[in-house]
């Protein structure tokens, strides 16, 4: 997986655990737990097949407080990018385009970490 190579080379990633991975002819399902050098954790879940893509990328502090979550669960119909949205630490859900795990990792990698 290209994502694993990215994590192994990233100086901000402390480690990862593949909690589940399945692949079939036209898709895959993956569930990862990624620990960052600042002790925060990213829980990444993604299902992709020929006709559907569901994702949730949940980033939280080591104590469990939400930093951000990107997902496409269809529960914020008022957001113009529905079903794609981002949950902020304030509890607010805001517009967000469809986003990949690689884009989330790039966002996190460009964030400032306190070591």
Q: What is the pTM of this model?
A: 0.92
Task: State residue 111's pLDDT score.
Answer: 85
Which pLDDT tens digit goes with each residue over 33-91?
999 999 999 999 999 999 999 999 999 999 999 999 999 999 999 999 999 999 999 99
CA distance 20 to 67: 23
Q: Tokens 């990215």 label which residue?
A: 6
- Report helix, strand or coil for 30: strand
Instruction: List beta partners, residue 32.
Output: 18, 44
CA atoms within a 13 Å half-sphere pointing along the CA-CB vector of 53: 8
Confidence of residue 113 (pLDDT cuts 50, 70, 90): low
**Backbone φ, ψ for residue 31 (5° rounding):** -140, 120
The answer, yes or no, to whether residue 115 has pLDDT greater than 70, is no
The predicted structure's pLDDT at residue 65: 97
């Amino acid at each position: 997986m290209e994502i694993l190579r990215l994590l192994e080379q990233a100086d901000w990633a402390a480690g990862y655990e593949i909690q589940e991975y399945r692949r079939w002819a036209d898709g895959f399902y993956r569930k990862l737990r990624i620990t960052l050098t600042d002790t925060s954790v990213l829980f990444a879940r993604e299902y992709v097949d020929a006709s559907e893509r569901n994702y949730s990328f949940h980033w939280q502090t080591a104590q469990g407080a939400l930093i951000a979550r990107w997902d496409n669960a269809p529960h914020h119909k008022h957001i113009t990018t529905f079903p794609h949205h981002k949950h902020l630490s304030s509890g607010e859900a805001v517009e967000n385009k469809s986003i990949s795990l690689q884009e989330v990792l790039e966002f996190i990698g460009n964030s400032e970490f306190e070591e």
